[in-house]
């Protein structure tokens, strides 16, 4: 089955193109997961973000060289996510470049520190699934905010550490451009936005893109500060930009469209917070809150709030976990049976594994989620082959039914992983 048509249509947001935004400002969209900005001065170039691979950066630079042959002297990292910082050495071309970043750059990333254990293997496995890394091209149709089809060579290989750390809002003159660099916590706490007053262009990093904000990433992320992200939208609007260049997807052009977009983002985040808080105060568990949560109609219709990347239900559960923690308040859950033990008792009560398998198979067509929940119990009681087959089918159906690219990629790569387990056994 094909991917969800709305998700496929979202690919128009990252058609590969070097956009000219003003006489001396360009942005490369669609070459990589993330965008690259160029400010062309009289004797050198400022680059804003650098993509996730050296190959993508090489491709971007080659197309930029068709319009400009000046050396890159300065790089600005909008934040520390790897898809923005991993092509720096390509743009530096062996020169000493100055690299600006926030003073808490990297605070959102797991540090490699042998003295303290960190779940790096889990993060790596889950990151692969969220982004569909290693999925074949016809399955990896989108990242939600970037193209599924993009170069993978040199992933993470061109990172260069920042040389100048920005603690507060500063104004700098770089290659003749007067730029305001301001701390602006949002998708990460270490965001730095760049405001070019002369052209009224704002580089927002990942505090905005054309998809519901990724308030929780299923690859596994610490709590993202919802209130800070919403407040940052007001901070960005105060510049009154006429062109907004996000870290992913197309620029937003026009003061009114930008105000609508930033207001919508802010109000959507605050809506999730207020609805989740209402549910928490009513004693609801996070799964129930998430299942019932919708954006109000005027926001739900906004194309930039479609759940291509972030997910409203995941956001609600992340807010719950980030404020009250993992415990949902139900005393039953203070001493929960581990799933494998619950499965044994459930399957026995349901009349045995064959009865559960039959129920799961007949649920597949109409209710793949329930089929999957039954399949997990089959796998847990040792009915691996039947459970795997049902779960793989369910995941592929759910993948094609969702507009959320991280979910789609996660289902599809998990299905392949489960298939390969079956092959070994
Ligand atoms: Zn990004």
H/E element, 186: none
Dump the DSSP string for 360-403.
Answer: HHHHTTT-HHHHHHHHHHHHHTT-HHHHHHHHHHHHHHHHHH-S
Nearest CA-CA partner of 26 in 243, 268, 235: 243
Is residue 223 domain-shared with residue 296, that is, in the same domain? no
Distance 201 CA to ligand 1 centre (A): 19
Q: What is the pLDDT of residues 222-259, one digit of tens each?
A: 999 999 999 999 999 999 999 999 999 999 999 999 99
How confident is the model at residue 423, as a pLDDT?
Answer: 58
Local confidence band at 106 (pLDDT 50, 70, 90 cut-offs): confident
Instruction: Tell me what pLDDT residue 118 has.
Output: 86
> What whole-number distance in Å separates Cα of residue 175 and Cα of residue 167?
22
The 10s digit of each residue's pLDDT in 34-74 is 999 999 999 999 999 999 999 999 999 999 999 999 999 99
Q: Ligand 1 centre and the CA of 355: distance in Å?
A: 46
Domain containing 414 equals 337-424
Same domain, 131 and 217: yes
Q: How far is the CA of 92 from the centre of ligand 1 (A)?
A: 21
Ligand 1 geometric centre to CA of 151 (Å) = 16
How far apart are the C-alpha atoms of 393 and 401, rounded to whole Å? 13
Question: Maximum CA pair distance of the chain?
Answer: 78
Are 195 and 86 contained in the same domain?
A: yes
Distance 413 CA to ligand 1 centre (A): 21
Residues 394, 277, single domain; the answer is: no
CA of 342 from ligand 1 middle (Å) equals 39
| CATH code at position 85 | 3.60.15.30
pLDDT above 80: residue 356: yes
Is 262 a domain residue? no
Task: Evaluate whether residue 310 is within a structural domain.
Answer: yes
In a domain, 329, yes or no: no
Say how many Å lie between the CA of residue 83 and the centre of ligand 1. 6
Cα(297) to centroid of ligand 1, in Å?
Answer: 28
Gap from CA of 176 to ligand 1 centroid (Å)? 27
DSSP state, residue 147:
B
> The tokens of 406 are what?
């991280």
Dist. CA 248 → ligand 1 center (Å): 6
**Residue 258 is assigned to a structural domain of this protein:** no
> What distance in angstroms lies between residue 150's CA and the mean position of ligand 1's atoms?
15
319 falls within a domain: yes
How many domains in the chain? 3
pLDDT on residue 360 = 98
- Compute, in angstroms, the gap from residue 192 CA to the centroid of ligand 1: 13
Indicate whether 40 belongs to any domain.
Answer: yes
87 and 199: one domain? yes
**What's the mean pLDDT in 1-27?**
95
What is the Å distance from ligand 1's center to 155 Cα?
14
**Residue 20 scores a pLDDT above 90:** yes
The tokens of 6 are what? 């709305």
Give 247 Cα–ligand 1 centroid separation in angstroms.
6
**Residue listed under structure tokens 């609805």:** 275
**In a shared domain, residues 111 and 171:** yes
Instruction: List the shell of residues around ion ligand 1, using CB closer than 5 Å.
Output: 34, 81, 83, 206, 247
Question: Ligand 1 mean position to 79 CA, how many Å?
Answer: 8
CA of 169 to the centre of ligand 1 (A): 22
pLDDT tens string 273-329: 999 999 999 999 999 999 999 999 999 999 999 999 999 999 999 999 999 999 999
Q: Give residue 398 CA to ligand 1 midpoint distance, Å.
A: 25
């Amino acid at each position: 089955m094909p991917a969800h048509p709305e998700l496929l249509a979202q690919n128009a947001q990252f058609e590969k193109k070097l956009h000219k935004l003003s006489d001396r400002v360009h942005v490369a969209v669609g070459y990589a997961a993330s965008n690259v900005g160029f400010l062309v001065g009289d004797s050198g170039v400022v680059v804003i973000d650098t993509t996730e691979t050296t190959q993508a950066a090489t491709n971007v630079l080659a197309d930029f060289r068709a319009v400009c042959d000046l050396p890159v002297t300065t790089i600005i990292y909008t934040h520390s996510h790897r898809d923005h910082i991993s092509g720096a050495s390509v743009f530096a071309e062996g020169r000493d470049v100055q690299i600006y970043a926030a003073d808490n750059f990297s605070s959102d990333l797991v540090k490699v520190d042998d003295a303290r254990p960190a779940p790096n293997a889990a993060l790596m496995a889950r990151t692969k699934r969220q982004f569909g890394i290693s999925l074949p091209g016809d399955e990896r149709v989108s990242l939600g905010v970037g193209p599924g089809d993009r170069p993978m060579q040199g992933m993470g290989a061109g990172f260069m550490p920042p040389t100048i750390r920005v603690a507060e809002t500063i104004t700098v003159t770089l290659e003749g451009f007067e730029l305001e660099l301001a701390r602006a916590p949002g998708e990460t706490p270490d965001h730095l936005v760049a405001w070019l007053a002369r052209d009224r262009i704002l580089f927002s990093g990942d505090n905005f893109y054309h998809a519901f904000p990724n308030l929780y990433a299923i690859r596994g992320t610490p709590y993202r500060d919802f209130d800070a992200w919403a407040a940052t939208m007001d901070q960005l609007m105060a510049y009154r930009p006429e062109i907004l260049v996000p870290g992913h997807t197309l620029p937003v052009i026009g003061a009114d469209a930008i105000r609508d977009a930033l207001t919508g983002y802010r109000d959507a985040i605050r809506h999730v917070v207020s609805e989740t808080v209402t549910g928490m105060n009513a004693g609801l568990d996070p799964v129930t809150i998430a299942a019932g949560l919708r954006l109000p109609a005027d926001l739900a219709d906004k194309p930039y709030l479609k759940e291509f990347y972030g997910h409203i239900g995941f956001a609600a559960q992340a807010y719950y976990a980030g404020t009250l923690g993992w415990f949902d308040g139900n005393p039953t859950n203070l001493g929960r049976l581990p799933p494998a033990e619950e499965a044994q008792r459930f399957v026995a009560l349901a009349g045995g594994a064959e009865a559960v398998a039959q129920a799961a198979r007949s649920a597949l067509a109409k209710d793949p989620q329930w089929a999957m929940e039954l399949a997990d119990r089959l796998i847990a009681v040792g009915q691996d082959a039947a459970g795997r087959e049902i779960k793989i089918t369910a995941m592929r159906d759910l993948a094609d039914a969702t507009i959320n690219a991280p979910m789609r990629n996660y289902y599809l790569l998990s299905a392949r992983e489960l298939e390969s387990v079956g092959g070994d056994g």
